[in-house]
Structure 1
């Protein structure tokens, strides 16, 4: 989803909540669920990919600032960009 300010925003398609429940074991195929209605939102791999793409899209909108990130969700994607 895109917010009114043009930034990426996350919300459950079923109830609109931005809350998630991470799987107990962070395996790529594990299910990420909505924190409000418990609907399955997708896989951990899919969620990591969504977060990475969203952060990169926001960064590319403001390229004059250097991007520094140590978050393991998006750090591997940065390695390929360097």
Structure 2
């Protein structure tokens, strides 16, 4: 699953749009007070984390976009990502 598929899957699962941010696909203006995010990391990896109280907190790093997408899906839904 790539990040575009992830965004569609999260919305289809009934998550509120303000509960997540996916780089280049699903962003906010203005920023909500807290949400989970998926973004490219500084060294070519992918970061999954939470934005809380004005700070980005990277919780996990992955070498591939599909692995990071699957993680974020599982964190937000409690289920494995659809195949």
Hey, which of these two has a bigger chunk of strand by percent? 2
TM-score of the pair, normalised by structure 2: 0.30
TM-score of the pair, normalised by structure 1: 0.30
Higher relative contact order (CA 8 A, sep 6+): 2
Q: Which one has the largest radius of gyration? A: 1
